[in-house]
Amino acid sequence: MAARTLQLPAAIQDYIIGLHCHFTTLVCLTFKRRMTFRSIDMPFLAIHITLCPAYQYSTRRYRALRFRARSRYAGGSYNKEYLTTTQYQTSVKEPQVKKKTPEQLRSHRWYGAQDMRAFGHRSRTAQMGFDRSDYAGKPVIAIINTWSDINPCHTHFKQRVEEVKRGVWQAGGFPVEMPAMSLSEPFQKPTTMMYRNFLAMECEELLRSYPADGAVLMGGCDKTTPALLMGAISMNLPAIFMPAGPMLRGNWGGATLGSGSDTWKYWAELRAGNITEKDWQEIEQGIARSPGHCMTMGTASTMTSAAEAMGFTLPGAASIPAPDSRHAAMATLTGKRAVDMVWEDLKPRDILDADAIHNAVTAVLAIGGSTNAIVHLIALARRAGVMLDLDLFDALARKTPLLANIRPSGKYLMEDFYYGGGLRAVLKNLGGLIRANAKTVNGKTLGENIADAKVFDADIIRSIDTALVKSDSLAVLRGNLAPDGAVIKPPAAEAQLHQHTGRAVVFSDYNDMAARIDDAELPVDKDSVIVLKHAGPLGGPGMPEWGQLPIPQKLLKQGVRDMVRISDARMSGTSYGACVLHIAPESFIGGPLALVQDGDLIELDVPARKLNLKVSDAELARRKAAWKAPAPRYERGYGAAFSQHITQANEGCDFDFLEAGAETPDPEIH
């Protein structure tokens, strides 16, 4: 029989120890006075007891325990704030409306029927170690995870997916991880853009063909964000985006390094002979120091910020650095929210309307975002049946200030941006330029989500009065060289090149450029206009990020660091320079860029939004008649399908059959 022991409360134990100390002191005092305790000793004893650390400690602890016990039993206010102000509860609208019953869940068609197929679904779920109680009547949340060993920007997704699952479980859902193609920007060739629509299709069809009620979309590296959102918009199940978050700042000998931007910069310095091969190797080791996507305002940071501005993430999610503990917490909260979105039946096309697109474009302009966002946002909008064209970008650019002081347009990096207040602070500083009533995934409006945003560093996140650039952080150009438009990022170009006329130095494709650009005999000077053909959606193929055409080595050695360069390519958001991009229609299909010849005069006028080839119409007609279409890039496979259906840059480069149209029906369960 187990011995019974008396357990006194800890506070009482402490109190007894304290009294024991006092009693011992008293005995010592009386012994010292030959056992004659006198009344004169009483005040001394009282002071001793009051000052005794053991007495004070036991008294404080006793009071604390008594207060806690009273609060608990009285339903009082002990630590009430702790219970009511978690990030999730404050970021989600209350009360939530439950619009579905368990029987109305999409997954119920797989799991709930009384037939042989449902038996198969349940028995195979049991095979994975689950009990019916794990999933019956619960929203199945598909977690589309773009983790891959070949994608350095998503290395933390193996851990993050567990945190998303934790949130789904906690909210009463059933998480199911579904891996999808990763689109690793540094490694995938010819370009990840070739596969953006592929991932979009994969996302859409994963959600359609499996018993998903809702989705968490895990992306961040450049094209993964638009691809996952495009697929989710087309499928239109409740979906929330979990951005990968930027990596930490790069470092080289104490100098801060930014993804991409400093690669271009120091590559030019290496070619100019200003740094050594050893310096270059040290930069290689220090420029990417942690998980997460590029930490300049490249395409990744631009598109995750656009996703947040459109309302597809929890508030503040896009700015959190990948290794930060808040990122892990955000992942869990995202999983939780996905479950509630299913019950509320809050779907992507409830969120993505003209206001959301307006906010995304405005946000991209205010953060000095990548020109790639133009192509992606047009494609996203078209998936939802919302009209967006280049003219809206130009119109909003004329009145939107550049507020985020982030490279390549500014000075800092995304880690600084987070500490400075993040995207919410930028959106708040934009005031009336943002459409505050736009819906978001947490059930609140964008205006509600940014109402309490604060700026912690006014140099990183500027006000409208202290904007880096008052307007025109982007310009859409037209003219006889770009009838369907071209784009340039004026703040990233040297100001004297905004209005420039120069003679063309033409390269027929990338290989031609690579072979001749550093030729000492190349007839080029600082006023020349470098032209690259066959770099568009079909010509690249995939419209690669070649648009920051290299400056010839002989000019680099003369100190030239910027020139007017034009192409039908895209450009990395981390790049800079007077680069005219996205010329449409592209040269591969006979657009006017195909007709440019060495020595032609080209006129760029950014304030007037003009890009013209100073060649007579008659001469251009003669050249057009003599132009021969190049052989197709692909005869079979995905490349052939890509070539048959890709649209031009001004149309978003989506596949024509994926743009808005009749709904695709859910599969029958047979």
Cα–Cα distance for residue pair 519/550, rounded to 1 Å = 12
Cα–Cα distance for residue pair 309/316, rounded to 1 Å = 10
**294 lines the binding site for ligand FES (CB under 6 A):** yes
Least CB distance to ligand FES at residue 231 (A): 19
Least CB distance to ligand FES at residue 318 (A): 13
338, 240 in Cβ contact below 8 A? Answer: yes
Q: Pick one of 163, 202, 213, 222: the residue that binds ligand FES (CB under 6 A).
A: 222
Residue 185 or 324 with smaller CB distance to ligand FES: 185
Burial of 72 from C-beta contacts in 10 A (0-12 / 13-18 / 19+): exposed
By rule CB under 6 A, what string of x and - marks binding of each residue 483-502 to ligand FES? --------------------
DSSP state of 303: H
Cα–Cα distance for residue pair 605/374, rounded to 1 Å = 20
Which tokens is 297 given? Answer: 């305002």
C-alpha 383 chain-centroid distance: 20
C-alpha 324 chain-centroid distance: 15
Q: How many residues bind ligand FES (CB under 6 A)?
A: 10
Least CB distance to ligand FES at residue 352 (A): 23
179, 147 in Cβ contact below 8 A? Answer: yes
C-alpha 284 chain-centroid distance: 24
Which tokens is 469 given? Answer: 């650039």
Least CB distance to ligand FES at residue 487 (A): 20
For residue 332, count other CB atoms closer than 10 A to its CB: 22
Restricted to residues 153-192, the positions that interact with ligand FES (CB under 6 A) are 153, 185-186
Stretch that binds ligand FES, among 54-62, 111-119, 290-298, 435-443 (CB under 6 A): 290-298
Q: Pick one of 11, 142, 176, 221: the residue that binds ligand FES (CB under 6 A).
A: 221
* SS3 category, 70: helix
Restricted to residues 390-419, the positions that interact with ligand FES (CB under 6 A) are none
Least CB distance to ligand FES at residue 423 (A): 17
Least CB distance to ligand FES at residue 387 (A): 29
360, 309 in Cβ contact below 8 A? Answer: yes
HSE of 465, CA atoms in CB hemisphere, 13 A? 1
DSSP state of 494: -
Stretch that binds ligand FES, among 56-64, 142-150, 292-300, 400-408 (CB under 6 A): 292-300
Residue 125 or 225 with smaller CB distance to ligand FES: 225
Residue 293 or 500 with smaller CB distance to ligand FES: 293
Restricted to residues 44-73, the positions that interact with ligand FES (CB under 6 A) are none
Residue 163 or 185 with smaller CB distance to ligand FES: 185
Residue 186 or 483 with smaller CB distance to ligand FES: 186
279, 352 in Cβ contact below 8 A? Answer: no
Least CB distance to ligand FES at residue 462 (A): 25
Label each residue of 356-386 as H, E or C.
HHHHHHHHHHHCCCCCHHHHHHHHHHHHCCC
Which letter, b or e, does each residue of 212-242 get, where b requires 16 or more Cβ atoms within 10 Å of its Cβ?
bbbbbbbbbbbbbbbbbbbbbbbbbbbbbbb
Look at the alpha carbons of 141, 144, 149, 151 in this order and tell me if their dihedral is positive or negative: negative
Cα–Cα distance for residue pair 204/196, rounded to 1 Å = 12
Least CB distance to ligand FES at residue 194 (A): 16
447, 390 in Cβ contact below 8 A? Answer: no
Stretch that binds ligand FES, among 91-99, 294-302, 309-317, 521-529 (CB under 6 A): 294-302
By rule CB under 6 A, what string of x and - marks binding of each residue 551-590 to ligand FES? ----------------------------------------
Nearest Cα neighbor of 312 from 344, 356, 342, 378 is: 356
Question: 637: left (phi > 0), else alpha (psi -120 to 50), else beta?
Answer: left
By rule CB under 6 A, what string of x and - marks binding of each residue 307-346 to ligand FES? ----------------------------------------
By rule CB under 6 A, what string of x and - marks binding of each residue 99-138 to ligand FES? ----------------------------------------
**383 lines the binding site for ligand FES (CB under 6 A):** no
Least CB distance to ligand FES at residue 217 (A): 16
Residue 153 or 529 with smaller CB distance to ligand FES: 153
**298 lines the binding site for ligand FES (CB under 6 A):** yes
Residue 300 or 388 with smaller CB distance to ligand FES: 300
Residue 221 or 375 with smaller CB distance to ligand FES: 221
Q: Pick one of 106, 121, 138, 293: the residue that binds ligand FES (CB under 6 A).
A: 293
Q: Which amino acid is at 148?
A: S
Least CB distance to ligand FES at residue 190 (A): 16
Restricted to residues 250-269, the positions that interact with ligand FES (CB under 6 A) are 259
394, 322 in Cβ contact below 8 A? Answer: no
* Residues of the shown chain interacting with ligand FES in the complex, contacts defined by CB under 6 A: 153, 185-186, 221-222, 259, 293-294, 298, 300
